């Protein structure tokens, strides 16, 4: 995140969607301005552009109020720069002049499983993990078994990355909003939600516009480059690895605005991957 490194990047275009109707529910952010960034998936260029814009927006509109920035998980896999994304998050954790929280996503859960029991994480390794290992300079050859690859990854991964990954919570609360990677199970009280549902749930959550105790802000599932808003949830995953668009939401009480960093995926072919068969990310 140094100035020299940032200046060498291709530039992502910034767009605000600032005229979104306010929340239909009584909503509060406890007097602070809260930003949340959707699934990053190794797309470092868009991440840097979005952080720069959020920092500038805090300076423009903060008026001395406290700010909170929440990252929604899925920092690794699919895009080309998983290791650089984790570098940026470690830097934010150490240097940000405001409150920062990092959620666990299902892709961090799979990476941690690979580090702890690589023989149980072969589907991740074969599907998404090879690219994440490559971002650390670890090339997988046909002669390498999963334990050898795990050991080489641990040798290459900075200790700060591992500490960050191991310390990620599954949800955080700010005022009347709850932030969680995938969603919540309808009919289950917030305090009783399982970690697996918080990381993996999809249809049971998305197909029922259920009124939870708090408004749910989530990532994990996407249909287009636009965020989704209902009375009871805000979805901010916009499939950056396929669309080139990384989205953040700004919440100020009931007021809702979105900011997006857009990089044409044709300019970054490594990040251009089609969505899954059901038209949603994971």
Angle CA(101)–CA(107)–CA(110) in degrees, nearest 5?
120
CB 211 within 8 A of CB 194: no
Instruction: Say what the pTM is.
Output: 0.90
Determine the angle formed by the axes of helices 82-95 and 159-166, rounding to 10 degrees: 80
Nearest to 247 by CA among 256, 258, 255: 258
Tokens linked to 130 = 């090879």
Using only C-alpha atoms, what is the Rg of the chain? Answer: 18
CA distances from 136 to 11, 77, 150, 167 (A): 23, 12, 12, 20
Mean local confidence (pLDDT), 105-111: 97
How does pLDDT run across 55-83, given as a tens digit for each residue?
Answer: 999 998 877 789 999 999 999 999 999 99
Confidence category of residue 18, pLDDT binned at 50, 70, 90? confident
Q: Give residue 252's Cα distance to chain centre.
A: 20
Whether the predicted pLDDT of 4 surpasses 80: no
Q: What pLDDT, in 10s, does the model give residues 149-162?
A: 999 999 999 999 99
Q: Is residue 61 part of a domain?
A: yes
Task: Please report whether residue 43 resides in a domain.
Answer: yes
- Residue linked to tokens 């927006």: 57
Distance CA 166, CA 14 (A): 32
- The Cβ of residue 65 has, within 10 Å, a number of other Cβ atoms equal to 12
Considering only CA atoms, which of 151, 160, 213, 222 is closest in space to residue 185? 213
Each residue of 229-280: pLDDT tens digit?
999 999 999 999 999 999 999 999 999 999 999 987 555 444 344 333 334 5
HEC string of the chain equals: CCHHHHHCCCCCEEEEECCCCCCCCCCCCCCCEEEEECCCCCCHHHHHHHHHHHHHHHHHHCCCCCEEEEECCCCCCCCCCHHHHHHHHHHHHHHCCCEEEECCCHHHHHHHHHHHCHHHCHHHHHHHHHHHHHHCCCCCCCCCCHHHHHHHHHHHCCHHHHHHHHCCCCEEEECCEEEECCCCCCCCCHHHCCHHHHHHCCHHHHCCCCCCCCEEEECCCCCCCCCEECCCEEECCCCHHHHCEEEEEEEECCEEEEEEEECCHHHCHHHCCCCCCCCCCC
The domain of 69 spans: 10-98+170-265
Q: Is residue 184 part of a domain?
A: yes
**Residue at 107 is within a domain:** no
Domain count, the chain: 1
Q: What is the pLDDT of residue 78?
A: 95
Quick check: is 154 in a domain?
no
State the pLDDT at residue 234: 97
Q: 51 lies in a domain?
A: yes
Question: 29 or 9: which carries more pLDDT confidence?
Answer: 29
Is the residue at 146 inside a domain?
no
Evaluate whether residue 139 is within a structural domain. no
Contact 206, 61 (CB under 8 A): no
CATH number at residue 177: 3.60.21.10
> What is the reported pLDDT for 266?
59
């Amino acid at each position: 995140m140094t100035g020299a490194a940032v200046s060498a990047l291709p530039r992502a275009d910034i767009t605000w969607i600032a005229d979104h109707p306010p929340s239909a529910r009584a909503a509060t952010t406890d007097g602070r301005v809260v930003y949340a960034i959707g699934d990053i998936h190794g797309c470092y260029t868009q991440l840097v552009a979005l952080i720069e814009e959020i920092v500038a927006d805090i300076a423009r509109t903060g008026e001395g109020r406290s700010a909170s920035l929440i990252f929604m998980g899925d920092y690794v896999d699919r895009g080309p720069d998983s290791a650089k994304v984790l570098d940026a998050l470690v830097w934010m954790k150490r240097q940000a002049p405001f409150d920062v929280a990092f959620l666990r996503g299902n892709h961090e859960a799979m990476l941690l499983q690979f580090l702890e029991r690589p023989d149980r994480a072969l589907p991740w390794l074969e599907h998404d993990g090879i690219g994440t290992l490559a971002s650390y300079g670890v090339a997988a050859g046909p002669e390498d078994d999963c334990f050898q690859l795990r050991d080489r990854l641990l040798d290459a991964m900075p200790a700060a990355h591992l500490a960050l990954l191991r310390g990620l919570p599954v949800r955080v609360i700010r005022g009347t909003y709850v932030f969680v990677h995938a969603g919540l199970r309808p009919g289950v009280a917030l305090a009783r939600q399982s970690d697996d549902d918080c990381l993996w749930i999809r249809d049971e959550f998305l197909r029922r516009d259920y009124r939870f105790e708090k408004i749910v802000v989530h990532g994990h599932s996407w249909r287009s480059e636009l965020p989704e808003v209902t009375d009871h949830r805000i979805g901010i995953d916009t499939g950056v690895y396929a669309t080139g668009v990384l989205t953040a939401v700004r919440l100020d009480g009931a007021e809702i605005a979105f900011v997006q960093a857009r990089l044409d995926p044709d300019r970054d072919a490594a990040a251009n991957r089609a969505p899954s068969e059901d038209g949603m990310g994971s």
